Amino acid sequence: MGKVLIITDSNSGILQSEAKELGIYVIPMPFTINAEEFEEEISITQDKFYELLGEDADVKTSQPSQFYLEDLWDEKLKEYDEIVSIPMSSGLSSACDNAIKYAEKYNGRVFIVNNQRISVTQKNSVFEAKKLADEGKSGAEIKELLEQDAKKQSIYIMLGTLKYLRRGGRISATAATLGSLLKIKPILFSDGGKFEKFGMALNNAQAKRKMIDQVKSELVKKFKDEYESGKLVISVAHTQNFDEAEKFKNEILKEFPNVKFNYVDPLSLSVACHIGPGALAIAVCSNNY
């Protein structure tokens, strides 16, 4: 069986240093701040990013170009027989669909996994893919196995501020001002597609309770088979909210003693551009390999 390289992007939360140790490749997602281009973790730190975001800098997300991806794949295919790439969810960015189109010219040597993951769920898929590659699975087999569980995931995010939803035009200025005055905490949900409104809370404690209760209900419905077979993992993600994320982790460990806990990770800067600091998320996904 040929050598298979696993590639992902920085939306997975996998650091460049981790990638080198694991033998995978992480594409740093590009974005612009005040018209100057940056690459996550390469040319800007999380702290500097949030500093500029707090100063109301003009931040716009982007994606790797066709030329960047083809140059990367050409170089890596000199050493590897196949590439399996796991980009962020196609429901959140066109990067995945574009990569699928670009890969067509590689005659079955580049496989783009469209299993609609982001952040800690994407990270979990990367580790699953690496394990499958190490076991001798082909690129086609890895893609098929990961895509079988595309919908076996849920992410709930409590936002710390309404400011960035307003800036992106997702809510009106009036609604954002009123919500901020009342200290309302919106909760968003995604199972791979775009993030949709799940609910509202009056404070952090109520928001966390709503998210935990919803995940509990999913354990006996949506994730029943995975839960009963021990093939389910829970993680926490956040935007510049590490202390609260650690507290949330401890609460989750008490609430879900029979589910494996995976990670406490910062959300990628590409996501933070749209939701700002202070967010807190719980993510559940299948873990079969």
Q: Rounded to 5 degrees, what angle do the CA atoms 64, 66, 67 make?
A: 100
Contact 285, 260 (CB under 8 A): no
Using DSSP's 3-state secondary structure scheme, residue 70 falls into helix
Tally Cβ neighbours within 10 Å of residue 194: 9
Instruction: Write down the pLDDT at residue 183.
Output: 64
Predicted model pTM = 0.90
Contacts (Cβ under 8 Å, ≥6 apart) of 107: none
CATH architecture of residue range(s) 4-29+64-147: 3-Layer(aba) Sandwich (3.40)
What mean pLDDT comes out for the span 251-276?
Answer: 92
At position 242, the amino acid (one-letter code) is: F
> What Rg do the C-alpha atoms of the chain give, in angstroms?
19
CATH architecture of residue range(s) 153-286: 2-Layer Sandwich (3.30)
Q: How far apart are CA 89 and CA 74, in angstroms?
A: 24
What mean pLDDT comes out for the span 174-185?
Answer: 49
Closest CA to 83 of 192, 152, 8, 189: 8
Q: Could you state, in order of their start, the residue ranges of all structural domains in the chain?
A: 4-29+64-147, 153-286
Contact 237, 120 (CB under 8 A): yes
Instruction: Write down the pLDDT at residue 164.
Output: 65
pLDDT in tens, 237-257: 999 999 999 999 999 999 999
Phi, psi at residue 284, to the nearest 5°?
-125, 135
CA distances for 71 relative to 10, 82, 167, 256, angstroms: 18, 15, 35, 45
In the 3-class helix/strand/coil scheme, how is 224-262 assigned residue by residue? HHHHHCCCEEEEEEECCCHHHHHHHHHHHHHHCCCCEEE
Q: How far apart are CA 34 and CA 12, in angstroms?
A: 25
What mean pLDDT comes out for the span 276-282?
Answer: 94
Instruction: Write down the pLDDT at residue 2.
Output: 76
**Is the confidence at residue 179, as pLDDT, over 70?**
no
What b/e readout covers 122-143, taking b as 16+ CB neighbours within 10 angstroms? Answer: bbbbbbbbbebbeeebbbebbb
Contact 140, 1 (CB under 8 A): no
Instruction: Write down the pLDDT at residue 181.
Output: 39
